[in-house]
Amino acid sequence: MTTRRLLIGLPIIVLLFLLQSYFWVPTYEEQTRGNPERLEEYVTASIGDAQVLNPALSADSASSDINGLVFEGLLDYDENLNFRPRLATSWEIHEEAYFYVNDRAEVPNFGHPNADGLAALIIQARGRNAEGTDSLSRSLSNIEAIEVLPAQQLLEEVIETLPDGNKVKVRLQISAPPRIKLRLKRVDQDIFDNLEKLLGASYFASFQAERFVGVKPAEFESKQKEYAKILLPPVEHNPVILFKLRPGVRFHDGPLFDGYDVKFTYDAIMDAANVSPRLPDYEPVKTVEVLHPLTVRVVYKRLYSPALGTWMMGILPEHLLNSEALRAEAQRRGLDDENMSIRQSNFNRDPIGCGPFRFREWKSDQYILLDRFDDYWEGPPNYLRYSYRILPDMLTQEMEFYAGTVDSYGVQPHQVHRLRNDPRYQYFDGLSFGYTYIGYNLRRQPFADLRVRKALGMAIDVEKIIRYVLYNQGGKITGPFPKQTDFYDHAIQPLPYDPEGALQLLAQAGWNRNQDGWLEKDGKRLQFTLITNQGNNIRKAILSIAQNSWRKIGVDVRTDLIEWAVFIQERVNKLDFDALILGWSMGIEPDLYQIWHSSQTGPYQLNFVGFKNKEADDLIIRIRQEYDRARQVSDCRRLHEIIAAEQPYTFLFVRKWTALLDKRIVSMERDPSGKVQYEKIRPTKTGNYTFFFNKWIKLPDVPTFQAEG
């Protein structure tokens, strides 16, 4: 009887809430009547608050939304997904490749040439093969300059830990042989493979680096080969990016941007005290050198194909976050000025960048306010203000959009059919670059057992989720790459919905039903908690479906909905969960190092499920170092296959997104004479309808465009 009353009462509560929401919100006409300022402000809504307004530290989407407006990178993608200049006006990419002279290797027809003889041999071969089209000829013609580097005497020290826990200093005396430096016009990952056709098949592989390394104390001589492999690699690829920076760009507080800010941003990411989730993107960097205030040279330790794209991240102001500034802030706040890090700085709640909008105010869980930056290098945006409101309830977001107090709305799947042709709004849609999944903490039982993970996936009817939760606004997904890319392997089939097969797998793993119907092993019930964040109705529905599905086969599942900030900061970042429902928004590059490499399984890192697989690690590294598209695609598909087989996630679906925008919002430009021209908002080829946001403006009335007659 109680249940019946609750179910009957629910629509009344919802109706009251709808009425309250509607009447509490002034309509658009009421806002703009006599108040033209509303036309100058763009208002958007998010279910979750930002976490940290610093692009070097943030990893959540809400923070990224704001950081993308406040900060600027050296480059980004244009509407056709080609790189375009931003804080950098141009860039040049070449490579410096090195190899040690192998005095014990015999070069065909030349014996054992010394360094000068080896350089001469390569120069002569380059001349002979100038018109060739084979792989060796292509590599030789790519060589711009050859230099012989003399032998060197070096001293290195490393700290080793003894079995008793004590530390000992190991001295390494290095007598490095001569080295050949090749300056290449462009990156050539096959340069050494091709040179072996000239120098001999084992020229590089037979180089014995340990001959040139002395180790003291003697008890560490057994590690001589290990030390030598690191200190004297037989070959070395050093890709180089030379950035020319834009002059006259100012930060919001006035100082000019220059190369020292670029170097500082890199150093801040690499500083372990700052715990930056961006560190894996920049670890391959060997040096960042400021050759001139407006010229920066970035040298990489090894091949790294996503290198250029990493510099899309916003650049930090060195003058506000350097050691002197942090020390002064610590003293003002009464903190330890010797150990003050950027992560502790108030800058993260009061940021200053050189993007199109400047920060004004952040009231936690309510709003973030930005103002137009009139000195923005590309010209100020049309909007004077930008408001980012935190509205965890989607129903509230919907009502406020209808009333005009929010300018855009992410349509929920069940509303698509009704709203997609509504003449009052602009309509945009596309397939998300990402996916939704259930992730298992592999450090905890029973998730360490693949059979359990696979069985849990087989017990969930994903088709039902897509049909009844997404209203068919989505599709199944089987692996870690965006479905629209070549890296995704469409040949891999999703797990079948097979509860009986799931029970058989669980039985193989030792889990059998007891007299009460619960799965049990060694007297212990199969029991865990599945969590997700509040404010996302789709994830909330998946939570219930997964719980019901698993309980049907005898898994005792508890569920919990957690406020977004607590969910991320206390549960995900601190690895304190059994299983969770989350989603990834992905880029177009195939670099999955942060999410799937075994080195990224610690607190505040993104492989929070703890996935570790040696072949996957090797593939992830190889994909990062691969410049050949076909080979990269092949490696990605093998990685997809491994992760799909291991099931650290139950991969659920990729959503079709749908967004509505007020029809009064248009793109406004001025021609050279100053005449204003209005155009409809248009999306890019990937469906990004906010790409030209700086040109947007809201008009008092819906304009009539020429195409509409």
CATH of the domain at 604: 3.10.105.10
Res 13 pLDDT > 50:
no
User: Per the domain annotation, does 404 fall within a domain?
Assistant: yes
DSSP state of 227: H
Which pLDDT value is given to residue 425?
93
Which pLDDT value is given to residue 144?
95
Res 21 pLDDT > 60:
no
User: Per the domain annotation, does 640 fall within a domain?
Assistant: yes
Confidence of residue 558 (pLDDT cuts 50, 70, 90): very high
Mean pLDDT across the chain: 91
| Structural domains in the chain (count) | 4
Judge contact between 62 and 367, C-beta under 8 A: no
Same domain for 626 and 567: yes
Same domain for 152 and 127: yes
Q: Which residues of 490-519 are buried (b: 16+ CB within 10 A; e: fewer)?
A: eebebbebebeebbebbeebebeeeeeebb
Judge contact between 279 and 350, C-beta under 8 A: no
DSSP codes, 3-53: HHHHHHHHHHHHHHHHHHHHHHSPPHHHHHTT-GGGGGEEEEEESS--S-S
Least confident of 264-273, 364-373, 383-392, 583-592: 583-592
Which pLDDT value is given to residue 394?
87
pTM over 0.75, yes/no: yes
Same domain for 458 and 317: no
Determine the Cα–Cα distance for residues 576 and 579; give it in Å rounded to an integer. Answer: 9
Same domain for 250 and 225: no
> How many Cα atoms occupy the beta-carbon half-sphere of 59 within 13 Å?
21
Res 705 pLDDT > 90:
no
- Is 622 buried (19+), middle (13-18) or exposed (0-12) by CB count in 10 A? middle
Q: In what order do the strands lie in the sheet with 519-521?
A: 512-513, 519-521, 524-525
Confidence of residue 18 (pLDDT cuts 50, 70, 90): very low
Which pLDDT value is given to residue 518?
96
Determine the Cα–Cα distance for residues 400 and 26; give it in Å rounded to an integer. Answer: 9
Token reading at 327: 């020390």
Res 12 pLDDT > 80:
no
What's the mean pLDDT in 398-421?
Answer: 91
Which pLDDT value is given to residue 29?
53
Res 659 pLDDT > 80:
yes
Helical H segments across 344-449, by residue range: 394-403, 416-419
Token reading at 526: 């199969």
Judge contact between 687 and 450, C-beta under 8 A: no
Which pLDDT value is given to residue 25?
46
Q: Which residues of 379-396 are buried (b: 16+ CB within 10 A; e: fewer)?
A: eebbbbbbbbbbbbebeb
**% of the chain at pLDDT higher than 90:** 81
- Is 13 buried (19+), middle (13-18) or exposed (0-12) by CB count in 10 A? exposed
Res 20 pLDDT > 70:
no
Which pLDDT value is given to residue 88?
98
* Angle, helices 499-508/450-458, rounded to nearest 10 degrees: 170
Res 356 pLDDT > 70:
yes
pLDDT in tens, 677-692: 899 999 987 788 999 9
**Cα-based distances in Å from 661 to 107, 380, 419, 656, 681:** 68, 22, 11, 17, 9
Token reading at 94: 């070449």
Determine the Cα–Cα distance for residues 506 and 556; give it in Å rounded to an integer. Answer: 14
User: Per the domain annotation, does 603 fall within a domain?
Assistant: yes
Token reading at 694: 């700086």
What's the mean pLDDT in 506-514?
Answer: 95
Q: Which residue, 346, 368, 393, sits at the end of a domain?
A: 346
Res 6 pLDDT > 60:
no
pLDDT in tens, 50-101: 999 999 999 888 999 999 999 999 999 998 889 999 999 999 999 999 999 9
Judge contact between 88 and 103, C-beta under 8 A: no
Confidence of residue 3 (pLDDT cuts 50, 70, 90): very low
Same domain for 291 and 301: yes
Judge contact between 313 and 278, C-beta under 8 A: yes
Same domain for 102 and 212: yes
User: Per the domain annotation, does 3 fall within a domain?
Assistant: no
Q: Which residue, 346, 377, 395, sits at the end of a domain?
A: 346
Same domain for 177 and 106: yes
Q: What angle do CA 481, 484, 487 make, to 5 degrees?
A: 45
Q: How far apart are the first and last CA of the chain?
A: 61
Which pLDDT value is given to residue 706?
59
Same domain for 220 and 104: yes
User: Per the domain annotation, does 121 fall within a domain?
Assistant: yes
Res 136 pLDDT > 90:
yes
User: Per the domain annotation, does 487 fall within a domain?
Assistant: yes
User: Per the domain annotation, does 292 fall within a domain?
Assistant: yes
Res 284 pLDDT > 80:
yes
Res 467 pLDDT > 90:
yes
Which pLDDT value is given to residue 164?
86
Res 709 pLDDT > 70:
no
> Nearest Cα to 249, choosing from 149, 60, 376?
376
CATH of the domain at 387: 3.40.190.10
Which pLDDT value is given to residue 408?
94
What's the mean pLDDT in 587-595?
Answer: 91
What's the mean pLDDT in 454-468?
Answer: 97
Q: Which residue, 239, 261, 285, sits at the end of a domain?
A: 239
Same domain for 195 and 147: yes
Same domain for 460 and 389: no
**% of the chain at pLDDT higher than 70:** 94
pLDDT in tens, 91-132: 999 999 999 999 999 999 899 999 999 999 999 999 988 788
Which pLDDT value is given to residue 23?
40
Same domain for 520 and 395: no
State which residues form the domain around 395: 11-53+347-429+661-708
User: Per the domain annotation, does 6 fall within a domain?
Assistant: no
pLDDT in tens, 137-184: 999 999 999 999 999 999 999 998 888 888 999 999 999 999 999 999
Same domain for 394 and 452: no
Between 35 and 18, name the one with better pLDDT. 35
